[in-house]
């Protein structure tokens, strides 16, 4: 069973990504569990306490509270081995994401009129 976490302070963005993940795994007939977090601090606490274990983490960078890049650093400091894929609308963190061994960086260009 695949264990995936989504951490994004935007409920709409979490729902969109969750739907995409569900569609993928259902189409491939694989079992999966998705854990959702709106706060990096809550995610970090649950991982530190051993409440969840995941193999893939989708992590927003710009969030209320501690930003995703700082959460990723803290996770790596406690030897978190899962793949981390950053989600953001800000390209300026791409190079920095290599410091935490990010597996990916999903960048969305938003229209300024939206």
Class of domain 2-107 (CATH, top level)? alpha beta
Q: Which pLDDT score is estimated for 99?
A: 83
Q: What is the 3-state secondary structure (H, E, C) of 46-83?
A: HHHCCCCCCCEEEEECCCCCCCHHHHHHHHHHCCCCCE
Token pair, residue 43, equals 């995610």
Question: Residues 61-97: pLDDT tens digits?
Answer: 999 999 999 999 999 999 999 999 998 877 777 777 7
Specify the pTM.
0.90
Burial 79-101 (b: 16+ CB within 10 A, else e): ebebebbbbbeeeebeeebeebe
| Domain range annotation of the chain | 2-107
Percent of the chain residues topping a pLDDT of 90: 74
pLDDT tens readout for residues 44-56: 999 999 999 999 9
According to the model, what pLDDT value does residue 108 have? 66
105 vs 67: which has the higher pLDDT: 67
């Amino acid at each position: 069973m695949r264990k995936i976490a989504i951490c994004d302070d935007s409920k709409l963005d979490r729902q969109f990504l969750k739907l995409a993940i569900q569609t993928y795994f259902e189409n491939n007939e694989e079992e999966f569990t998705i854990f959702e977090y709106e706060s990096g601090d809550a995610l970090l606490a649950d991982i530190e306490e051993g409440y969840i274990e995941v193999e893939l983490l989708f992590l927003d960078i710009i969030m209320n509270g501690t930003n995703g890049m700082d959460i990723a650093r803290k996770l790596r400091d406690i030897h978190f081995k899962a793949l981390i894929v950053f989600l953001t609308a800000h390209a300026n963190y791409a190079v920095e994401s290599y410091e935490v061994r990010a597996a990916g960086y999903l960048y969305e260009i938003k229209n300024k009129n939206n």
